[in-house]
């Protein structure tokens, strides 16, 4: 990945309050240039609220937010031109044709081209990049759900954004569409050094797509790191099973290797049917979320 050390997204002490209810409490995370960051959490954790604040679509109650060097609450049109937002569309622009809409929306970005960023993306190349070449002349209302979603992504990146926001991008995708979509995001990050922030409640997706995962639960960030770091963060939920003299035993332990060494040292050949199950990221995630939920109760 072409990740550099430049911070393009910086959130500190972010709070969102509706009435007497804190939806977000002291949210804090960063994204570096070229990084794919997943905001992972159960439904209702505050993911969408967070991303909408970063997109400049929602006012926050408190905290410091810096997106590409500006406060999104006061971002001007020049700032807007450097951001890409993939919306969960429904049926807008139904009478427009695929290529026609991309060419039109691209024209908004032309005045904001810079020395190193050519804006907009050429409509034909973009149509091809999202695999819609065969449908370029079709009316948008005739597209299938998956095609429509790829068009949404194309619209989100038509201005060659430096930072792209994706809110639940693969909701309602079949496995193949999901796979193609993951490919597209990887290519964006690799070939165009686009920083990507996506929200998902799907752990496997976060693991597959993201360089780094930020776990949001109950309105707080409860973990932040790579897939491996997260698995290590909640230590010791490995599960060890064995038989001793014909009877079955199960034990969970933070240090499965040490435990097994001890087991053999003590019982030697009397141990049979040894099984060690490492904590998966899924266990980690569930444990984290469960911990948070019991803590707030």
Partner 1 sequence: MNTTTNPTTTNSTATAVRIGCSRGLIELRQSFTNGGELLSHFLWPTLMLTVMYFLRDSALGSGELMLGTLALPGILGMNAAMGMVSMSQILTAEREDGTLLRAKATPDGMPAYLIGKVVSVGGGVLADLAILLIPALLIIDGLSAGGPGSWLTVVWVLLLGMAATLPVGAILGSVFTTARGQGLIQLPMLAMIAISGIFYPLTSLPEWVQWLGQATPVYWLGLGMRSALLPDAALTVEIGESWRHWETAGVLGLWAVLGLALAPLVLRRMARRESGSSMSERREKALRRVG
Q: Least Å distance between CB 100 and partner 1?
A: 7
Which one, 167 or 238, has the nearer CB to partner 1? 167
Task: Name the pairing type of β-strands 271-277 and 7-18.
Answer: unpaired
Q: How far is the CB of 240 from partner 1 (least distance, A)?
A: 44
The phi, psi pair for 293, rounded to 5°, reads: -70, -40
- As a whole number of angstroms, the distance between CA 252 and CA 97 comes to 58
Choose between 91 and 297: whose C-beta lies nearer to partner 1.
Answer: 91
Closer of 126 and 155 to partner 1 (Cβ): 155
Rounded least distance, CB 224 to partner 1, Å: 24
Nearer residue to partner 1 within complex by CB, 47 or 212: 47
Q: Measure Cα distances from 203 to 38, 213, 263, 290 in Å.
A: 10, 9, 34, 15
Q: Could you list the residues that contact partner 1 (CB under 8 A)?
A: 48-49, 52, 55, 57-58, 77-78, 80-81, 85, 87-93, 95-96, 100, 104-105, 107-109, 111-116, 155, 159, 167
Half-sphere exposure of residue 250: CA atoms within 13 angstroms, side-chain side: 4
Min separation Cβ 10 and partner 1, Å: 15
The gap from C-alpha 253 to its chain's centroid, in whole angstroms, comes to 31
**Residue placing its CB nearer to partner 1 in the complex, 52 or 227:** 52
CB of 109 to partner 1, least distance (A): 7
CB burial of 153-184 (b: ≥16 within 10 Å; e: otherwise) equals bbbbbbbbbbbbbbbbbbeebeeebbeebbeb
CB of 30 to partner 1, least distance (A): 18
Helix, strand or coil for residue 34?
coil
Toward partner 1, which CB reaches closer, 116 or 176? 116
In a 3-state reduction of DSSP, which class is residue 55?
coil
**How open is the CA angle 242-230-255, to the nearest 5 degrees?**
30
């Amino acid at each position: 990945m072409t990740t550099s050390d430049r911070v393009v997204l910086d959130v500190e002490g972010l709070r969102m309050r509706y009435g007497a209810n804190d939806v977000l409490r002291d949210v804090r995370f960063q994204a570096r240039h070229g990084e794919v960051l997943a905001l992972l959490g159960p439904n209702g954790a505050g993911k969408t609220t967070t991303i909408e604040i970063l997109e400049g679509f929602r006012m926050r109650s408190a905290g410091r937010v810096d997106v590409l060097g500006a406060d999104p609450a006061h971002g001007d049109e020049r700032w807007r031109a450097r951001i890409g937002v993939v919306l969960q569309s429904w049926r807008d622009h139904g009478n427009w044709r695929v290529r026609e809409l991309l060419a039109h929306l691209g024209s908004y970005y032309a005045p904001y081209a810079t020395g190193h960023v050519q804006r907009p993306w050429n409509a034909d190349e973009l149509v091809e990049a999202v695999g819609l070449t065969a449908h370029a002349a079709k009316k948008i209302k005739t597209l299938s759900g998956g095609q429509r979603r790829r068009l949404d992504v194309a619209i989100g990146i038509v201005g060659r954004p430096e930072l792209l926001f994706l809110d639940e991008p693969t909701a309602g995708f079949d496995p193949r569409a999901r796979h193609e979509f993951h490919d597209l995001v990887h290519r964006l990050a690799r070939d165009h050094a686009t920083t990507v922030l996506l929200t998902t409640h799907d752990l496997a997706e976060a693991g597959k797509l993201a360089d780094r995962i930020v776990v949001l639960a109950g309105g707080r960030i409860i973990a932040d790191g790579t897939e491996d770091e997260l698995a290590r963060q909640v230590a010791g939920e490995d599960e060890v099973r064995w038989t001793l003299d014909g009877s079955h035993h199960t034990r969970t332990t933070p240090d499965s290797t040490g435990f097994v060494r001890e087991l053999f040292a003590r019982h030697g050949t009397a141990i049979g049917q040894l099984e060690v199950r490492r904590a998966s990221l899924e266990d980690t995630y569930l444990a984290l979320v469960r911990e948070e939920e019991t803590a707030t109760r």
